[in-house]
Structure 1
Amino acid sequence: MLAAAVLASLAPLALAQEGTKPEADDSAALFASPSVLTQKTGAGIYGAVCAGCHMPEGQGAVGAGAYPALADNPTLEFPEYPIHIIVHGQAAMPPLGSVLDDEQIAAVVEYIRTHFGNDYAEPVTAEMVAGAR
């Protein structure tokens, strides 16, 4: 539940900082409940959850914790690594496996692997995420 509380507090901040709106296919409400994120697209999930720490352009940040840059990040070459980190957490990164479903994790991993100067085109599937749980 800690992950859900963290997400609930960060999501409005991330969107407000960017002045962004959820994508057309995403619900206007970020959460259907305090523990379930409604965003379905990689960009929507990134904007609602990840951008608060990793920053809008994936540049990373240092403050209350160290949040690594996702931009031009060679550790994203193999999708298993970011899948594992998102599902299970690491250091300041809370585990999001109980908040995001397999499709959502696959979508956001595919998004960060194909944006911010990353060009890792291998598809990321929900089956890959299920195997990491």
Structure 2
Amino acid sequence: MKNMTSKLLTVMLLSAMSSAALLGCSQQSDDVETVASKQQQDTETTLDYQASRNNGAWGAVYMSREELTAPPTNIVDDSLLPNMDNDPSLTEWETKFEGTNAFVTTDGKKLYHDSCAACHMHKGEGAYGAGYYPPLAHNSKMQSKYYIIDILINGFRGMPSFHGMMNDEQMAAVTQYVHSELNDYTDTVTAEDVAQLRHANPSAGDPSDE
């Protein structure tokens, strides 16, 4: 009986010591920072978004007082752009079109080189490229001045109509150049010849379909 009581007391004593040890491990000073206490502190902190913006967290644009008070301007300073009056390309364009957006000259050679040579080449030899540009020089079809005038007025396949770009006299001049200078035909082309074929509106179809 005595031995049993002794063993029981020993077990109780060991249990009490274990509980005290475990309890001691979980107790700590309030001054010690733990992961849980750090998360709680972060949650309780009020975020100042404006402060973070001002500190550059969102990116910042720094401007002087003078810039802030200056009148609003475009991002591109247009005062630094070149003056179009002195633009070489514009000068070349005005030379070609004699200072206007339409043909003024009645010089057939100039009209041809300004409006036709880009596709049919300067000597009328024609070209292959993104499309086919038939030769106008040494071309038997150019014997008929009315054939040339008809194409100028109505256009032909990929070629635009010059109905609204050239007057009768100008069409006659460029037709004469193609007829006589790029070929050896001798008919005289007049503005009256053009007037016979000119109509109120250019055809929307292909003259070759008629």
| Whole-angstrom distance in 2 between the partners of 1:29 and 1:59 | 22
CA contact (8 A) 2:124 2:137 kept: yes
| Whole-angstrom distance in 2 between the partners of 1:65 and 1:31 | 30
Question: 1:107-126 to 2 correspondence within 5 Å?
Answer: 107-116=173-182, 118-126=183-191
| Whole-angstrom distance in 1 between the partners of 2:160 and 2:96 | 22
Change (3 A) 1:63 1:102: same
- Structure 1 unaligned spans of 5+: 1-11, 17-26
Match of 1:67 in 2: 133
- Structure 2 unaligned spans of 5+: 1-88, 199-210
Sequence identity percentage: 38
In the alignment, structure 1 residue 79 sits paired with structure 2 residue 152: no
CA contact (8 A) 2:169 2:190 kept: yes
CA contact (8 A) 2:96 2:114 kept: no
Q: TM-score, normalised by structure 1?
A: 0.74
**Residue type at the aligned position of 2:151:** I
Q: Which runs of 4+ in 1 moved over 3 A?
A: none
Structure with more relative contact order (C-alpha pairs < 8 Å, separation 6 or more): 1
**Residue type at the aligned position of 1:110:** Q
Aligned residue pairs total: 107
| Whole-angstrom distance in 2 between the partners of 1:115 and 1:132 | 23
Change (3 A) 1:29 1:48: closer
Q: TM-score, normalised by structure 2?
A: 0.48
- Greater helix share, structure number: 2
Change (3 A) 1:32 1:132: farther
